[in-house]
Chain A
Amino acid sequence: AQSVTQPDIHITVSEGASLELRCNYSYGATPYLFWYVQSPGQGLQLLLKYFSGDTLVQGIKGFEAEFKRSQSSFNLRKPSVHWSDAAEYFCAVGYTGGGNKLTFGTGTQLKVEL
């Protein structure tokens, strides 16, 4: 079965600093990969997705992620963090033949210091 690991439970960065959130997945074939963001009291909002093709994908709010098959990773990056980016971030994986099921990581809580 597929699984997703987000090794960082909490991350604190200063506003304006760069950000990288790690995500590793376990699945034999090519997965479908997603990053979602959850603000307090809100549902999950899709930041970006990878299906195939270019391994560097751009998302909303200035986020990007890079799919690295050799490392089974799909890390999320942002060059300059804004205070409004403070939220919880979830990486998720789906796969061909899996219906629409997504398996989620345990999340990374991002705190932004002003």
Chain B
Amino acid sequence: EAQVTQNPRYLITVTGKKLTVTCSQNMNHEYMSWYRQDPGLGLRQIYYSMNVEVTDKGDVPEGYKVSRKEKRNFPLILESPSPNQTSLYFCASSLVGGQGGGSPLHFGNGTRLTVT
């Protein structure tokens, strides 16, 4: 089954304790991205990757890191989490090319992070 898998689904941590949220897709998609979802703000892009070893900042990258060492994986790293990073996080993937950006995103089921 084609899917984007995120882990964990729920995570509670304390300020400053480094954490990683994993994301893996089995569709051979070049493009992967992380979004955070906050009430009243919709989804905002954190980082994205057009292919292996190619990553770039989205709209709200502060406090986050990513890496893309393999095509299928795109982990999100919070080196020193703070309470304002409490949010619902989504990983997404899609093909690159075709209509130059019109490929729909496939989303994971989300990771709810609470930082106390």
Chain A residues within 8 Å of B, Cβ to Cβ = 4, 9, 32, 34, 36, 41-46, 49, 51-52, 90, 94-102, 104-107
Contacts and interface: CB of A to CB of B under 8 A. Distances in A.
Contacts of B92: 44
Contacts of B48: 99-101
A100 B103 contact: yes
A101 B49 CA distance: 10
Chain B, interface residues (CB within 8 Å), range: 20 to 34
B43 A100 contact: no
Given A34-B104, A95-B101, A101-B33, A43 B42 contact: no
Contact of B109 (A43, A106, A107): A43
7 contacts: A44-B90, A51-B99, A96-B100, A98-B101, A99-B48, A100-B31, A101-B33
B27 to A, nearest CB: 13
A104 B46 CA distance: 13
